[in-house]
Structure 1
Amino acid sequence: MTNKMYPCLWFDGKASEAANYYCSIFKDSKIISENTFVSMFELNGNKFMAINGGPQYKFTPATSFVIECDTQEEIDYYWESLGKEGRYDRCGWLDDKYGVSWQIVPTVLHKLMADPEKSPRVVEAFMKMSKFDIATLLNA
């Protein structure tokens, strides 16, 4: 692991619980270290810190983590795994049970958005979606 910059997530007494929860969802993940205040963990090769900071700060969608997915199965997996106890939103966004915001997006979206002829139809299609549907985007 060579991350010299990584996010620190502020939890109200649930840092270890959250770190273990995320590690259970992401296949290439591990707890690096834990104590009563800080949990260091890795998700898909990316380092994270979770701290028990108290109730004064909450997560908002102003900061979110993007998960690019190559297949519809990946989208479905992360959508259900992260969102099932949280809140689903539009355009691939969700908040997990801790209030952390995630964007579950198809990898192909960047290519579709770069096509000046296709992008208006793609935007129109995904604005109607909650969870992204790759087939619908490709046929837009």
Structure 2
Amino acid sequence: MPKWDVTPAGVGLVASQMGEVLGAMSKIVTAYGEDMGGAAMASGTVAEGGASVKGGAGGGLVAAALAEFAQGTAAEVQFIPARAAKSVDGALLATAAYEAGDMEMATRAQRHAAGVDEPDMAHGWTRGDL
């Protein structure tokens, strides 16, 4: 069995710092949508003769492309803080289990946080196969 080198106080410090980062991330996700809208408005349209018109009615090709890009990436951008929070929670659960001396529970908590399924023991796999 591999030896763990975990400092619970260090994990707690990093987790608290991540809490601050996660708070900032939610502001960034909100700003992302607002910034994309602002960029679309500033992109303007092309008028007859090739002149650029800012904030044209209906927007132009760049505004349409930005709107499509924002719509296509919105779910992914919103997923980043959620996944980071889940990772921090998994680290805290694993550390608590480590502190309690339950190494198997800590391993299971880490795998759950990483989204890795437990092996199917019915197929003859053993822990040594991990």
TM-score after normalising by structure 2: 0.23
- The structure in which a higher percent of residues are strand is 1
- Structure of higher CA gyration radius: 2
* TM-score scaled by length of structure 1: 0.22
